Structure 1
Amino acid sequence: MRVFLRFCIFFITISIQAQGSISGNFSPTKDFKWLIAYELTPNGERYTKDTAVKDGAFTLEMPVTAQAGMYRLVYAVPQDEFYIDIIYDKKEEVKFNFDLQDGLTITNSIENKWYNEYFSKITTAQDRLLEYYELGKDSKKEYMTILKELQTLQDTYEENHANTIAHKFIKANRSYLPTEYENLETFLKNKKQHHFDHLTINDPILQGSNFLTDKFASYVFSALPVNITTKEQLFTEVIKNVNVTASKIANTSTGFQVRSFHQLWNIADANGMAEVQDYIFKNYLKKVAIANNDQKLVDELEMASRLRIGAISPNITWEINGKKKSLSTIDPAENYLLIFWSSTCSHCLKELPTLHKELKEYEDLKVIAVGLEDDAINWKKVSATLPAFNHAIALGKWESDYAKTFGIQSTPTYFILDSEKRFLAKPESDKEVVEFLEN
């Protein structure tokens, strides 16, 4: 009897921890071949499982050890662009259809349906409020109707879907709503003041998803005064918001802080806010990345800042007839072209002679060609056939200082500089070089 009892207890335990699954159908079928599932954690993505997609269909039998939470299903590269985020609660079998044009349709998961339905409806209602302000409407009745709809939606979804993973997101998404009419300036001021009221910043599931980092980004780049008129004012206000956000996440894990600050850095980069980028990196991101043993990220961001459009190029030196020359002291010109090539690179041997010929008509252009080489023997022969270029050599090829400083991943690589030797463009080919100079 005792043996039987132990067997039953063990069997029940195994049953409770039984595997669940995520399955679905992709369209067009020819565009989907493989799927990788990652658990989203505060410190980043954790590989869970992968499977082939056959004729547009797949089934992921989730491991028994898989935790309930948010999972990212990556279906193409780059992985940070082509993915679907799904709630996996270990209770439901998750099924969906995904079409590249029509998007995601959940077919067999009540919790995922709630999640998507809530955010769709609340976004539509919030857009109505923004539209009210943007159109300069003055109907107090319409205004209060919109507020009531927003309040009812929020309350209904919070009350009806408690004790679910979806509820964590729904509750944390509760935003400021006035109790009476407010003009736009007052509304934005109050909305900003209450932005963090309902964000459960230490919740690991919220930290693992994009939810919190998106909320931080919204605050930093959107919670701004309406009377900003200059770039300097904009950057000042954005940096103030960065500091507030930093204070809110100061006690979270370093991995989560790295992700949060990195996203803010990326958004500043995409919007040409170099001053904001540098501030985020120097004051927060570099410190937490080093604390998180992520020197690779530090190196990548330092290189990105060093090579960004508008930055002054790092120096390059070479010799002509025994005399040292450098980019920093070269004669003035309207433009400079940096070429990183190799005498053993077939693409280089095809593109550079053609480019050498075409650039002869550009009198106010100076070209510095840096050979990434294992030795100087072949480089001397080939570079001699391109006499209009200034030639420098970087022994050590991919491991050379120049290759690392300029982040060279392939040859030829081109950079066009302005008269002050600031980066203007990074053409992909000799043809793009000529097109840029022509325009």
Structure 2
Amino acid sequence: MLKKLLSLLVFTTSMVNAQYIVKGTMTPPGKGDWAILYKLEGAKQKFITNTTVKVDTVNINGETEILGKFLFTLPEDAKTGAYRVSYRNKGAGFVDFLFNKENVEFIFNPLYPDQSVVFTSSRENKLYSQYLEAIGLSQKKVDEIQANYIKSPTKDAKKAYKKAYKDLEDVQDIYENKSEGMLVSHFIKASKRYNTSNPTEDIQDYLNSIGKNFFNNIDFKSNELYNSSFLIDRVTDYIFGFNFSDDQVLQQKLYKEAIITVMDKVSKDNLRKEVTEYLITTFTDKRNSEIVDWVFAEYYKKLPKELQDSKFKQSKLDLLRATVGRVAPDFSWKEYGTRYGRTYEKDYKLSTLNDGENYLLIFWSTGCSHCLKEIPVLYKFMKNHKKTSVVAFGIENDDLDWNEYIKKLHGWHNAMGTHPENKWDNRIVRTYQLIATPAYFVLDANKKIIAMPNTIEDVEKYFNKLNTKKKANKKQKK
């Protein structure tokens, strides 16, 4: 009997030792009851397991603190690499960490996890956190001196820059040496930012040098970096954070140039697929159909056939049917009037309208309080823009209130759409991907969408600017 108990003890002990734990503590606890563990693989996350978040209390200096705790176990053969714990059903709420055959424990505030996470167990993650803090402070010092040098390029500033630059290099060397042979070593080496050894006097030269050398220390062939969010995060920083212009045409050009630079660095087909799908999804969310079409044509369709996903492509294109650069999806309606004492009806189609130099398409509803405030203001404003034809599409449960209201909108084309179950399920509403009213689309003479103002103020700015351009062109012709 004793022999059996000893055998059982040895077995259960070996089972415990063969497992690793991932333990998180939230202070204060989050709103969700569940925590989900993912393995990061490329730009995607693979579900591993989930667990409940348990509420606990602890007494600190006589005050009771409420905590949220969760725990995962990983088997001995669990893959090393980057993992993610998500703790919110909606919105961003996650903590990323490295796993390399050791227990991982951390404490964080769920409202701002990146800034608050502290690893209490895990040599890999402790070292990475220390590195990020140390290199961040050193880089900030270099950046501050560089900014001051551009304003006042003195000898003292140059001397201070060179010292700060050396200190930064020393910090990098220290942590590269400390992490030798560890998983985190790949991330520390790749995180090294390019800096000139001497300060730069011209801001544009400075930015050009940073941009040109942005990916110097990043190995796009590294499996360790690929199986994390690191590469996608750096691609995001470069394309969306480093290339910006207020001019829309120039911005599109900068996006394309940045994407070309990124894709020239990526040689592995699987990563090219991940990056292009990420970019397509991101630009789809931004409703930038020009860039989405360009990425599909230049990169996605050139992937090996087995890596292309026709459903993915169609789903993104469907979302962009009503965006800038596309011809507005067509629809038809009837308008009624009286002539010589008789009621008549006339059929209209958006695609065949020809009564304006351009068009303002408005989606609104009599059940929308914002609409009822804005439509009268807009009606008055558009009287000063008579060469623009207005099409107002009412999204309604029925036509009772709508029929009464459109009597105030003489001179506009008034169409209405509904649905027996839910007005938002109307075909036109779904085609235009509408989730709120009012929504505005500016169309050219050929019904191509040329602008999508967010607010009535944006509509007014657009047409006032258009009028200013027209007046300037007339003066030039004279």
Secondary structure of the corresponding residue to residue 49 of structure 1: strand
Between the aligned residues of both structures, percent identity stands at 20
Corresponding position: 1:416 with 2:440: yes
The alignment's TM-score, normalised by the length of structure 2, stands at 0.68
Whole-Å Cα distance in 2 between the matches of residues 312 and 28 of structure 1? 50
Deviation larger for 385-394 or 66-75: 385-394
Query: CA 1:219/1:385 → structure 2, altered by over 3 Å: closer, same or farther?
Result: closer
User: 2:194 matched to which residue of 1?
Assistant: 176
Count of aligned residue pairs for this structure pair: 406
How big is each residue's C-alpha offset from its partner over 1:253-293, in whole Å with a ceiling of 9 and x where there is no partner? 0xx43442355457767889775455334423566598545
User: 2:78 matched to which residue of 1?
Assistant: 66
1:39-54 correspondence runs (5 A) = 39-42=39-42, 44-54=44-54
Choose from 145, 148, 159 the match for 2:166.
148
Considering only aligned residues, what root-mean-square deviation do their CA atoms show, in Å?
A: 4.5
User: 2:64 matched to which residue of 1?
Assistant: none
Corresponding position: 1:200 with 2:224: no
Contact 1:318 1:325 in 2 (8 A): yes
Whole-Å Cα distance in 2 between the matches of residues 95 and 210 of structure 1? 19
Deviation larger for 191-200 or 36-45: 191-200
Whole-Å Cα distance in 2 between the matches of residues 379 and 96 of structure 1? 54
Whole-Å Cα distance in 2 between the matches of residues 179 and 360 of structure 1? 58
Whole-Å Cα distance in 2 between the matches of residues 16 and 178 of structure 1? 51
How big is each residue's C-alpha offset from its partner over 1:149-201, in whole Å with a ceiling of 9 and x where there is no partner? 11111111111112222111001223334455555565555544443333121
Corresponding position: 1:131 with 2:141: no
Amino acid aligned to 1:122: I
Deviation larger for 190-199 or 152-161: 190-199
Choose from 118, 133, 142 the match for 1:120.
133
Contact 1:88 1:94 in 2 (8 A): no
Whole-Å Cα distance in 2 between the matches of residues 383 and 232 of structure 1? 39
Query: CA 1:284/1:12 → structure 2, altered by over 3 Å: closer, same or farther?
Result: farther
Whole-Å Cα distance in 1 between the matches of residues 368 and 194 of structure 2? 59
Q: CA deviation at 1:308?
A: 4.0
Q: CA deviation at 1:404?
A: 4.4
1:18-417 correspondence runs (5 A) = 18-29=18-29, 31-42=31-42, 44-55=44-55, 56-64=67-75, 66-79=78-91, 81-98=92-109, 100=111, 103-136=116-149, 137-138=153-154, 139-179=157-197, 183=201, 188-221=207-240, 232=249, 235-253=252-270, 256-264=271-279, 276=291, 278-285=293-300, 292=307, 294-308=309-323, 313-320=328-335, 323-328=346-351, 329=353, 331-332=355-356, 335-339=360-364, 350-351=367-368, 355=372, 359=376, 362=379, 364=382, 366-369=391-394, 388=407, 390-392=414-416, 402-408=428-434, 413-417=437-441
Contact 1:313 1:422 in 2 (8 A): no
User: 2:471 matched to which residue of 1?
Assistant: none
Deviation larger for 261-270 or 55-64: 261-270
Secondary structure of the corresponding residue to residue 325 of structure 1: strand
Q: CA deviation at 1:98?
A: 3.0
Contact 1:38 1:73 in 2 (8 A): yes
Secondary structure of the corresponding residue to residue 70 of structure 1: strand
Contact 1:303 1:407 in 2 (8 A): no
Whole-Å Cα distance in 2 between the matches of residues 407 and 17 of structure 1? 53
Whole-Å Cα distance in 1 between the matches of residues 174 and 37 of structure 2? 32
Contact 1:49 1:60 in 2 (8 A): no
Contact 1:94 1:108 in 2 (8 A): yes
How big is each residue's C-alpha offset from its partner over 1:319-375, in whole Å with a ceiling of 9 and x where there is no partner? 345643023416448743224xxxxxxxx78549x949974993645422367xxxx
User: 1:374 matched to which residue of 2?
Assistant: none
Contact 1:24 1:98 in 2 (8 A): no
Query: CA 1:229/1:108 → structure 2, altered by over 3 Å: closer, same or farther?
Result: closer
Secondary structure of the corresponding residue to residue 201 of structure 1: coil
Bigger Rg, structure 1 or 2: 2
Whole-Å Cα distance in 2 between the matches of residues 267 and 121 of structure 1? 32
Secondary structure of the corresponding residue to residue 83 of structure 2: strand
Deviation larger for 393-402 or 172-181: 393-402
Whole-Å Cα distance in 1 between the matches of residues 43 and 242 of structure 2? 27
Query: CA 1:167/1:423 → structure 2, altered by over 3 Å: closer, same or farther?
Result: same
Query: CA 1:293/1:43 → structure 2, altered by over 3 Å: closer, same or farther?
Result: farther
Deviation larger for 70-79 or 232-241: 232-241
Query: CA 1:403/1:424 → structure 2, altered by over 3 Å: closer, same or farther?
Result: closer
The alignment's TM-score, normalised by the length of structure 1, stands at 0.74
Whole-Å Cα distance in 2 between the matches of residues 176 and 39 of structure 1? 30
Whole-Å Cα distance in 2 between the matches of residues 288 and 156 of structure 1? 41
Q: CA deviation at 1:394?
A: 7.5
Whole-Å Cα distance in 1 between the matches of residues 138 and 124 of structure 2? 21
Contact 2:284 2:319 in 1 (8 A): no
Amino acid aligned to 2:169: Q
Whole-Å Cα distance in 2 between the matches of residues 234 and 387 of structure 1? 40
Query: CA 1:229/1:330 → structure 2, altered by over 3 Å: closer, same or farther?
Result: closer
Q: CA deviation at 1:148?
A: 0.9
Secondary structure of the corresponding residue to residue 121 of structure 2: coil
Contact 1:21 1:61 in 2 (8 A): yes
How big is each residue's C-alpha offset from its partner over 1:380-430, in whole Å with a ceiling of 9 and x where there is no partner? 77865665473355789888753542125x6x7542234746553467xxx
Secondary structure of the corresponding residue to residue 307 of structure 1: coil
Query: CA 1:330/1:187 → structure 2, altered by over 3 Å: closer, same or farther?
Result: closer
Query: CA 1:211/1:299 → structure 2, altered by over 3 Å: closer, same or farther?
Result: same
